Amino acid sequence: MSHPQSYEILLVPEFKKSGTDAPGPGRAIRSAVVAATGETGASGYPRYEGEGVVADIDPSTRTVEALLVDGAELDYGLSVRISEKSVESGEGRRSPAAGGTPEPGDSRAEQPDGEPADEDTGP
């Protein structure tokens, strides 16, 4: 199986306290392009590094399994999103499994509190 050679990592706040100048949910406060190192991280998934970010990413689900930003774990109140980088164009593709903007009806959507949404079993 061929793994993507790079991803764009986006750090976004999970919530916004009223009266602050913090960006609202979904607006990245930092991004970094990470490239495959050819190594496997402690999580057992391929390791990607770049621009101060080290991430172990499951390429089959595009889920970030481990993350260090400038050598530290992610602060509370932040979450990570990834976008696959196209080698030809350099453009990214958002991944709902990794926290990108879910499409309507996507059962992997999360509630604002970070809990998975209940699936609608429908009639």
pLDDT for residue 71: 96
Instruction: Find residue 8's DSSP bridge partners.
Output: 33, 83
Strand 46-50 relative to strand 63-69: parallel, antiparallel, unpaired?
unpaired
List, for residues 39-61, the tens digit of each pLDDT value: 999 999 999 999 999 999 999 99
For the cut 70, the answer to whether the pLDDT of residue 8 exceeds it is yes
List, for residues 17-47, the tens digit of each pLDDT value: 555 665 555 688 999 999 999 999 999 999 9
pLDDT for residue 115: 43
List, for residues 62-114, the tens digit of each pLDDT value: 999 999 999 999 888 899 999 877 554 444 444 433 444 333 333 333 334 44
List, for residues 61-71, the tens digit of each pLDDT value: 999 999 999 99
Task: Measure the CA–CA gap between 7 and 10, rounded to whole angstroms.
Answer: 10
3 state DSSP class of 97: helix
Structure tokens at 6: 């790079």
Comparing 14 with 29, the larger pLDDT belongs to 29
pLDDT for residue 99: 43
Task: Measure the CA–CA gap between 42 and 54, rounded to whole angstroms.
Answer: 12
